[in-house]
Structure 1
Amino acid sequence: MGPFTVLYILIFVIGLPGNLLSVWVFMCSPRAKQQSTSVYLVNLLVADLLLLLALPFKIVKDLGAASWSLMVFHCQASAVAMYISLYASIAFLAFIIIDRYLQDCHTLRSLRLQEVGFARLLSVVVWLLLLLIMVPNMALPIQEVQAQRYLSCSSLKKDIGLHWHALTVFLCTALFLNASAAVLVSSGLALKRLLGSRSDPKLWTNARRAMVSVTAVALAYILSFVPYHVARTPYTLAQTKVIKECHIRRQLFLGKESTLLLTVLHLCFDPLLFFYLYTPFKETVRKMIPCTRNHTDSETEEEAAEEMMQPASSAQQQDAV
């Protein structure tokens, strides 16, 4: 675990300042609660903060420096919190991708889906669903294990705990597959709209902007979460003792840890998504940097003009509907 631990420490050191800065910027942004995009971004930030709180426990455990009680706490609580954060990030990144596509489709239905109230309700449903799936992993009784230097979390679980853990993995995999399907459909529709607007320069510009946004988030989604789920399912079979060969179990464990590292890496990139996708966030950050203050006013005026044009286009579409 030595190389993995070093990389986890680097990710934590790099990701912590960026996410704390994101918290401060969202608190200072004047319009942080007026768009569906901001609701999903704030929830993504909450998921990142939950991961940042849980990550030090994993680092200490993997270093072999944790006490026995701390290792048990990690298996029962902080490791579960990491997976809650992981699947919350998957869900909210998928919502962001869908929302970016809907911003380019000014139909009556898309406008209703982009209502702030609907975005908040959807966010609450996601958190409640994840807690319902994950919390039993914390609450189910564990068996007594003799204290030792290293601890495999699966060795603490009784049979009912192992079965629920396997069920949790497959339920979360189903969530991932549904989110991935939504990402693929949104990306495909954005590409179709881009290709269909080549004859109109104005529509081409708007469609290209939407396509770039969707592609950027979709790439982050694929790189962070797809490899992990390729490795996760066979590793669960090793945890539940369906696969018993020691060599295969060791390789599956290393594969799971390597791909889990990619999922944690999104802590470093999410602040860049906040800056790129949300205009008030971008404006607040630019005001903090002296060298960009001279350019902020003119760029803000251009962005404000674009935002004024979008409601007009939306109203025309509604009249047409």
Structure 2
Amino acid sequence: MTPATNLSTGGAPEEKPCIVNDQMGPFTVVYILIFIISLPGNLVSVWAFIRSPRAKQKSASIYLINLLVADLLLLLALPFKIMKDLGVAPWNLMVFHCQASAVTIYISLYASIAFLAFIITDRYLQECHTVRSLRLQEVGFARLLSLVVWLLLLLIMVPNMALPIKQVTEQTYLSCSSLKEDISLHWHALTVFLCTALFLNASAATLISSTLAVKKLLRSRSDPKLWANARRVAASVAAVALAYVFSFVPYHVVRTPYTLAQTKLITDCETKKRLFLGKESTLLLSVLHLCFDPLIFFYLNAPFRHTIRKLFPCLGNHAIRDAKEEAAEEMMQPATSAQQEAAC
């Protein structure tokens, strides 16, 4: 049994290490369930996007495909976290998780935040056919914006993989922050604040787009045709925005104070434990979006939906309705566009 205190060579008592991650059993069970439930849906999504001949012809599809790539990265990294939290991973694998797969999880999460915000904004702009909005919806612009997001996240996150780590004694409950040198801890703190800034900007775009979609809906009450389109857009924007808020807002409420505990600005052990459990609970909500994203792909992308319905005939024969929906998304009638521009 490990004693509460040890004596150093000078005879002074050493403090008992503060273990914060010794209650991961319930979290691990939920992570396993999320992995099992979300894996088939995301694999089918990959197949459907590959089989959809028109999947890459719209800006919204580009953002959805990048969201799927982020989900696949998270699915690849999640088993390493599960094994570490279960305590069945060998020491080298635990260190690998702290250095690589844990960082991959956060790259995936913030990529998902960015692309969900783009999807919400693009969904609103689909019904606001101004010259400026049409330029923002060009496929080339969407690809460039997606590339910028990935490069920015890699620039911020990859140093966490490359910066030096300490050589520590093998232990059952490894805290990743205990491996970090001072420079690594400082960069980690900077990473958190930069990613929080990204989250705040994405949240602002989500809030503005959602508000404008509702405003447009209220202004369109006098025109039945515009009302139907505005209601459809407002419903889709609201659904994705609610998923965004549910998945990512609680995590960022506790992320900053938990980072202060990691950087030794908070030293009380009980406070550290509470912050860690809060961080893990809200991170679980963030990872839960893996189960919801295939539904977003299905309802927001007509070619994807048509491919899935051909794969699963039990969903019903909706080919005619899918074709009408796809045609409606592409149509831009001049008179209607002028009315919609006024509404926007």
Q: Distance in 2 between matches of 1:219 and 1:90?
A: 13
Q: What's 1:312 paired with?
A: 333
User: What is the aligned counterpart of 2:131 among 101, 104, 108?
Assistant: 108
Distance change >3 Å, CA 191–CA 315, structure 1 → 2: closer
Letter matched to residue 35 of structure 1? K
Contact 2:196 2:252 in 1 (8 A): yes
Q: CA deviation at 1:289?
A: 1.7
Q: CA deviation at 1:199?
A: 1.0
Deviations for 1:62-118, whole angstroms, at most 9, x for unmatched residues?
000011100000000000000000000000000000000000101111000000000
Alignment of 1:236-255 (within 5 A): 236-255=259-278
Q: Distance in 1 between matches of 2:270 and 2:93?
A: 28
Q: CA deviation at 1:313?
A: 4.0
Distance change >3 Å, CA 254–CA 108, structure 1 → 2: same
Letter matched to residue 216 of structure 2? R
Deviations for 1:281-311, whole angstroms, at most 9, x for unmatched residues?
1101111122345x22331343244245x22
Residue 207 (structure 2) pairs with residue 184 (structure 1) = yes
Structure 2: give runs of 5+ residues left out of the alignment.
Answer: 1-23
User: What is the aligned counterpart of 2:48 among 25, 32, 39?
Assistant: 25
Contact 1:190 1:207 in 2 (8 A): yes
Q: What's 2:20 paired with?
A: none
Q: What's 2:184 paired with?
A: 161
Deviations for 1:195-237, whole angstroms, at most 9, x for unmatched residues?
1111111111111111001001000000000000001100000
TM-score, normalisation: structure 1: 0.96
Alignment of 1:1-321 (within 5 A): 1-293=24-316, 295-307=317-329, 310-313=331-334, 317=338
Contact 1:106 1:314 in 2 (8 A): no
Distance change >3 Å, CA 110–CA 314, structure 1 → 2: farther
Q: CA deviation at 1:148?
A: 1.2
Contact 2:128 2:337 in 1 (8 A): no
Distance change >3 Å, CA 89–CA 27, structure 1 → 2: same
TM-score, normalisation: structure 2: 0.90
Normalized per residue, the structure richer in helix is 1
Q: CA deviation at 1:143?
A: 1.0
Contact 1:106 1:313 in 2 (8 A): no
Distance change >3 Å, CA 88–CA 305, structure 1 → 2: closer
Letter matched to residue 128 of structure 2? C
Letter matched to residue 9 of structure 1? I
Distance change >3 Å, CA 315–CA 115, structure 1 → 2: farther
Contact 1:34 1:116 in 2 (8 A): yes
CA RMSD of aligned residues (A): 1.6
Q: Percent identity?
A: 74
Contact 1:54 1:81 in 2 (8 A): yes
Q: Distance in 1 between matches of 2:84 and 2:59?
A: 38
Q: CA deviation at 1:30?
A: 1.1
Count how many residue pairs are aligned between Structure 1 and Structure 2.
Answer: 318
Contact 2:303 2:326 in 1 (8 A): no
Contact 1:101 1:190 in 2 (8 A): yes
Distance change >3 Å, CA 72–CA 314, structure 1 → 2: farther
Structure 1: give runs of 5+ residues left out of the alignment.
Answer: none
Letter matched to residue 322 of structure 2? T
Q: CA deviation at 1:312?
A: 2.3
Runs of 4+ deviating beyond 6 Å? none
Q: Distance in 2 between matches of 1:170 and 1:176?
A: 10
Contact 1:107 1:314 in 2 (8 A): no
